[in-house]
Chain A
Amino acid sequence: MAKAKITFQDIEQTVNVPAGTRVIEVSEKIGAGIIYGCREGDCGTCMMHVEEGWNNLTEPSVLEEKVLKENMAGRHDRLACQAQILGDCSVKPT
């Protein structure tokens, strides 16, 4: 199975994950600082900033784009409950 590395910058921890893993699946287990509300892409609580590897996450859906806009997301911000890891990337809480 293809693997990818995700780094949580706030806790300086890198994790090897199977490609396709959602950020939410690993960030809570590792104790990173991204926090969650609804866990289904609606509330915007888990907004994170992608420092590196923006293109190594799945494309945001139309619904995610809408929630990001409503929550005044900055450039390269994503919802951790929606984004899936396809390749190496580095993220931190917003």
Chain B
Amino acid sequence: MSNEIDVSSHRDAVEFADGVYWIGALDPTLRTFDIILSTANGTSYNSYLVKGQDGVAIIDTVKENFSEEFFARLESEVDYKEIKAIILNHLEPDHTGALPELMRRAPEAKLYISQRATSMLKALLKPTGDGFEYTTVTTDDRISLGDRTLRFLHTPFLHWPDTQCTYLEEEGVLFSGDVFGCHYCDKRLFNDLVGDFRFSFDYYYAHIMRPFKKHVMDALKLIEPLKIKQIAPTHGPILRERPRRYVTHYRELSTSSLSREIGVAEQSLVIFYMSSYGNTARMAEEINEGANAIGGVRVSLYDLEGGETGPFVDLIEEADALLFGSPTINGDAVKPVWDLLSSLAVVNLKGKLGGAFGSYGWSGEAVAMIEDRMRGLKMRIPQQGLRIKLIPTEEELEECRAFGTAIAEEMVGKKQQKAVIDMADLA
């Protein structure tokens, strides 16, 4: 296997398909990306250049600090006057850092972005003033460089709302933006030459794409029919050797594993609780009973004290509804509840049902605070939370069962229609 490629030793463009060049930059010393990602051997900011008979297209740029390297590689191959199009697959600053300067140097170039990117573009360029023009594009829009055609794929939320992919039809190169990317820095550039980057690939997916699995599946419907010879993402190795397997891997990673365990028609309710004197635990058990009485709902009960955040996040990701039980201590819910509720940025919670309950001694603020947090996480709270002062009576335990039943009924759409209510009667 050839190891001749070493992009750290020069500042030239690297051709990897006919008239298609890598003009990016390596960032080998980065150890944390965007606060949330560890980058054990750094990252790369991949930018690409496509030459056509009628001009040149630049696809994405680099983080601002790496502009010099980007411009050097660009200048090694073309003159700024030749640049006809600048395509931005999404506008995150690590790919648009060099954009204002590129637009200044190539004033004739037209900017192509997705519809959703317009407000972000204005926010990004505001320090340099107005007066820029752009064209919005979507799936199946094309731009021609004469003998080269770049086709766009609207792939929103992978991982920003404005994300798109660009496909070079004649060469079968998919410029995929952050999709199929990873934070892995290697001067050998190509997947068949670099080190073992499987962990980095999966880790990147788990932190960047995982919250958007449904959108990944939608995007794959556009990507899978393409004849792909190479995938050129914005971070990590260019996938030139058997690129199709990365597409297949994305589908595997985005497929529900719970659906293999329970019926398709069945829904999952997970109840988490912490209890200091056993009262909130007692509530949790009765809520569990009440919910279990409703067919079509698989209920799971977990004491937060006995588990770890990672596996609980996995459970939450596939659950249809979540209940959290917490006592109130010093006017707050307890820390393990907040620890879990602050670890959910990697999964999609939008529209899941939520609810809270807890026993309390004096004031019982925890329940409302948990509900507010769940609303903030874009969950729907169909049932007002259940608070019980200290030890639940038999009557209060019945309320717990009714609470569990109501949540489960809400999940399966069996809840009885209510009469018209007045806003003044809402809590």
User: Smallest CB-CB separation from B116: which chain A residue?
Assistant: A70
Are B421 and A16 neighbours in the complex by a CB distance under 8 Å? yes
Chain B hits for A67, CB < 8 A: 119
Render B92-136 as a binary contact track against A, CB cut-off 8 A, 1 for contact: 000000000000000000000001101100000000000000000
From B43-51, B183-191, B373-381, the one touching the partner chain is: B373-381
Render A46-63 as a binary contact track against B, CB cut-off 8 A, 1 for contact: 000000000000000000
Are B418 and A13 neighbours in the complex by a CB distance under 8 Å? yes
Are A16 and B427 neighbours in the complex by a CB distance under 8 Å? no
Residues A35 and B420 in contact in the complex (CB < 8 Å), given A29-B426, A70-B115: no
Residues A28 and B375 in contact in the complex (CB < 8 Å), given A33-B351, A33-B380: yes
Are B382 and A31 neighbours in the complex by a CB distance under 8 Å? yes
- The prevalent SS among residues of B at the interface is loop
| Interface residues on chain B, size class | 20 to 34
Chain B hits for A28, CB < 8 A: 375, 381
- Residue ranges of B at the interface with A (Cβ–Cβ < 8 Å): 115-116, 118-119, 350-351, 375, 378-383, 417-418, 420-423, 426-427
A65 to nearest B CB, angstroms?
Answer: 13
Chain A hits for B422, CB < 8 A: 15-16
- Residue ranges of A at the interface with B (Cβ–Cβ < 8 Å): 5, 11-18, 21, 25-26, 28-33, 35-37, 45, 67, 70-72, 93
Please report the C-alpha to C-alpha distance between residue A39 and residue B423 in the assembled complex, in whole angstroms. 20
Are A29 and B380 neighbours in the complex by a CB distance under 8 Å? no
User: Smallest CB-CB separation from A17: which chain B residue?
Assistant: B423
Contact of A45 among B118, B378, B383, B418 (CB under 8 A): B378
Residues A15 and B421 in contact in the complex (CB < 8 Å), given A29-B426, A70-B115, A70-B116: yes
Residues A71 and B426 in contact in the complex (CB < 8 Å), given A13-B421, A45-B378: no
What 6 pairs between A and B have smallest CB-CB spacing? A31-B382, A29-B426, A35-B378, A14-B420, A17-B423, A16-B422
B154 to nearest A CB, angstroms?
Answer: 9
Please report the C-alpha to C-alpha distance between residue A28 and residue B247 in the assembled complex, in whole angstroms. 39
Contact of A36 among B118, B378, B420 (CB under 8 A): B378
Sampled A-B contacts (13; CB under 8 Å) = A13-B417, A15-B422, A16-B423, A17-B423, A26-B423, A29-B427, A30-B421, A31-B382, A31-B383, A32-B380, A35-B351, A36-B375, A37-B378
Are A72 and B351 neighbours in the complex by a CB distance under 8 Å? no
A76 to nearest B CB, angstroms?
Answer: 19
Chain A hits for B383, CB < 8 A: 31
Are A21 and B378 neighbours in the complex by a CB distance under 8 Å? no
Chain B hits for A71, CB < 8 A: 116
Chain B hits for A17, CB < 8 A: 423
User: Smallest CB-CB separation from A44: which chain B residue?
Assistant: B161
Are A70 and B380 neighbours in the complex by a CB distance under 8 Å? no
Please report the C-alpha to C-alpha distance between residue A15 and residue B427 in the assembled complex, in whole angstroms. 13
Chain B hits for A72, CB < 8 A: 115-116
Chain A hits for B382, CB < 8 A: 11, 31
Chain A hits for B379, CB < 8 A: 35
Are B426 and A35 neighbours in the complex by a CB distance under 8 Å? no
User: Smallest CB-CB separation from B136: which chain A residue?
Assistant: A70
User: Smallest CB-CB separation from A37: which chain B residue?
Assistant: B378
Residues A15 and B423 in contact in the complex (CB < 8 Å), given A28-B375, A70-B119, A72-B115: yes
Are B116 and A31 neighbours in the complex by a CB distance under 8 Å? no
B425 to nearest A CB, angstroms?
Answer: 9
A1 to nearest B CB, angstroms?
Answer: 11
Starting from the known contacts A15-B423, A30-B426, A72-B115, 9 additional A-B residue pairs (CB-CB under 8 Å) come to A5-B420, A13-B418, A14-B421, A18-B423, A29-B427, A31-B380, A35-B350, A45-B378, A72-B116
Chain A hits for B427, CB < 8 A: 29
B93 to nearest A CB, angstroms?
Answer: 18
Chain A hits for B418, CB < 8 A: 12-13
Please report the C-alpha to C-alpha distance between residue A5 and residue B423 in the assembled complex, in whole angstroms. 10
A69 to nearest B CB, angstroms?
Answer: 8
Chain A hits for B118, CB < 8 A: 70
Chain B hits for A31, CB < 8 A: 380-383
Please report the C-alpha to C-alpha distance between residue A45 and residue B383 in the assembled complex, in whole angstroms. 22
B10 to nearest A CB, angstroms?
Answer: 42
Chain B hits for A36, CB < 8 A: 375, 378
A56 to nearest B CB, angstroms?
Answer: 16
